[in-house]
Amino acid sequence: MEQVYRSLKSIVVLAVLCSLLAACGGGGSSSSSTTVNGVASKGPIKDGVVEVYAVNADGTRGKLLGTGTTGSDGTYKVQNLSYKGNLIVIVTGGTYFDEATGTAGVPNTVLKAALSGATGSVNVAVTPLTDVAFKQMSSAAGGFTKANIDHSNAVVSTAFGVNIIGTQPVDVTDATKVASASSQTAVDYGVVLAAISQMVKNGDASDVKDAIAMIQADLSAETPKLSSTGGALTQAIVALTSGPDPMLAPTITTETTSMYDTIQHFTDSEVNPPANPDGVAQAKAMVSDLRNTVLTVVDYHTGDVGNTLKTPFDTTAAELQTTVGPELSSVGDLVGWVVTAIGSTTGITPGTTYNYTDPEKHPGQTLTIVTGSTGTTATVSIVTDASVTLLSGTISVNDVNMPTSGSVNFTTLKTASGGNATMTASYSAAVSDTTMAITFRGKLTSPSASFDFDDSASNRKLTFTLTQNPTMPDSVMLTKAYFSGVATSSTARVTGSINIPTLVWNSNISPNEGNATIPTQATFSGKIEALNQGAVTMTLQGTLTGTFSNAGSYNPTIADGPGNFPQWSGTFNGSLVSGNGVNISTMLKASMSTYQVINFEVKYTRTLANDTTIWLDCNGTYNVFTEVTSGTITNQAGLHGTFVNDKSKPTDSRFSGTIETGGGAEVATFSSPIGVPRVTYDDSYFETLI
């Protein structure tokens, strides 16, 4: 069971890990209408003049097709152009906010971009990176031919890991815009534009124009690489994200943006555009979204695949299993014995001592109730044969003849760990011949957690339904349980309700070994907050439902096997909010209906401010015995990934798989050199997944 439990905790996050242009030509025609949209940025350029030009058949710049003006966020639109084909976009004038210095109103330099085969509605970013590519294509033989435009854009796009034309950069100083960005690559694009300003601030370039010329010289070399500018750019990113005065949105770090690693890679490696640059760009975007989704769930930095499975809720789950659960079970047994004993006693006599024993449920223990002068109050104790006090305190009842309500104040409640809990609560009981339903309102504090169910206006309560045990007529068993309130431990705070509508008797479990009634279903609705030294690091809000289909017949006292194993399922639907404020709709499913085979499904969805939906969907299986996980992952762009993690293999070959485009073209592969999972793209760039 422990192995199954550990595996289940790991599945969700491992499941999660289970996560420009065409040929030749030139010139254009006037037989179709074209609209050019985009963002002009070095931060976003405000009030810039946008000019769109045709390209002549000989590759030279042609006539002016239309003009526009950039908004405060750098966006522009030049529409209804009677033209299709290669085009040039030039942005002059305007001002921008310098990300490195924090200076507003910085005059823009002239920035240019070119796109091949424009028709209909097209997106064209105009940035220092498109200007680098523009300088390359303008000096190439033949000028602005389709081949030159595509190749120059692809070289710069590959060097920086973003589609420099189609991706529209966001203002990375604005946390709200970063959180609602259309893709992670849009954020990465904004990061490198900010890094160019930081290069200037650091003294590595005299101004933005100089930085553009330096990058262009690197990528125009016989062996294109960022040999002279890569180091300055990566240092700039570090300064922007983690320096003494970080200028970017707090969610952006060298871990959450792949731009740092991309530039570092192509500082020493040749920039070689892949055959399918769009597909590679989409794969990089998917992995960026995957990584940054996972970063809201896990804290991973180094190690093998196993280390990526550690989530903030792992510590909570372990605490519930090893500490909170056993302590609450022991406390519940003691309190339940007291209340049921009082409830079963009719005609309580004042000034009388009542002793109770239950050899089946509480062997070696004696419950003593000493009533007061009126009979409606009493002192209570449970003492072992070795004279160890397990419970002590006071209790009151409303009626000595048929007690149905009262209060408890227990100052000693020994827990399973040997610690002491306290409980103060009022209670009411509804009693029939075979059933007692007890509702508490109050507070329970144990060494591991506190429980507040003391608010009748919010319907906070703790309810147990006890029924006569059919196999032990002198004992009762728990058949229903309900909690509504706030429970806080050192690692989590739970606000909401837990409903266990049915518990069944399992005759395979001795009462001496634990509660022999097992839930067949449980539902939690509300909010779970992961805590780190009291601070909230992540929040899950929604509904978690679990079922245990063979709760009454599974025998945990013998070895698990094909004919005896827990058959369960669990589903969570709701939202996940990370400490940095990113809100992700989440669906998690896991089940085991075949011995040692866990099926899982995970889906994360984000809806951006522009109503664009980003999602990641993973399905697969995990074999508990062989420790082999296999699955598929898809996203909103139609990419399809497959992965296998086989722990029986050497660490450098246990993780494998591919990423393919919707058309079936392979654009990336998964591997695990030296045990570290990574993805390698067709442009030779690779990045680790941890």
What is the Cα–Cα distance from 110 to 95, expressed in whole angstroms? 11
The values of phi and psi at residue 614, to 5°, are -110, 130
Is residue 245 situated within a structural domain?
yes
Question: Is residue 451's pLDDT more than 80?
Answer: yes
Token code pair at residue 5: 């439990």
Residue 505 included in any domain:
no
Q: What is the three-class DSSP state of 240?
A: helix
Whether the Cβ atoms of residue 185 and residue 635 lie closer than 8 Å to each other: no
pLDDT one-digit tens code per residue, 56-94: 999 999 999 999 999 999 999 999 899 999 999 999 999
For residues 538 and 307, the model is more confident at 538
Please indicate, yes or no, if residue 242 is contained in any of the structural domains. Answer: yes
Q: Where are the beta strands (DSSP E) in 257-348?
A: none
Highest mean pLDDT among 180-189, 299-308, 321-330, 640-649: 640-649
Answer yes or no: is 357 within a domain. Answer: no
For the chain, first and last CA: distance in Å?
Answer: 29
Number of domains in the chain: 1
Give the number of other CB atoms < 10 A from CB of residue 558: 9
Query: Which amino acid would we find at residue 170?
Result: V
Q: List helix spans (H) across 297-324.
A: 312-319
pLDDT at position 199: 97
User: Are the C-beta atoms of residues 15 and 618 closer than 8 Å to each other?
Assistant: yes
Who has greater pLDDT, 469 or 168? Answer: 168
Q: Please state, in angstroms and rounded to a whole number, the distance separating the CA atoms of residues 378 and 371.
A: 4
Over residues 237-290, the pLDDT tens digits come to 999 998 777 889 888 888 778 889 899 999 999 999 998 888 988 898 888 777
In a domain, 655, yes or no: no
* Amino acid letter for position 689: L
For the stretch 413-441, pLDDT in tens is: 998 778 899 999 998 888 777 787 888 89
Predicted TM-score of the model (pTM): 0.67
Average pLDDT of every residue of the chain: 84
Is 310 domain-assigned? Answer: no
**218 domain-assigned:** yes
Q: Using the predicted structure, report yes or no on whether residue 19 has a pLDDT greater than 60.
A: no
100 within 8 A of 194, measured Cβ to Cβ: yes
Q: What is the DSSP annotation of 473-507?
A: EEEEEEEEEEEEEEEEESSEEEEEEEEEEEEEE-T
Residue 686 CA to residue 262 CA, distance in Å, equals 8
pLDDT at residue 514 is higher than 50: no
pLDDT band at 314 (very low <50, low <70, confident <90, very high): low
Q: Residue 655: left (phi > 0), alpha (psi -120 to 50), or beta? A: beta
H or E element that contains 281: helix 277-295
- 537 versus 192: which is more confidently predicted? 192
Residue 272, domain extent: 20-305
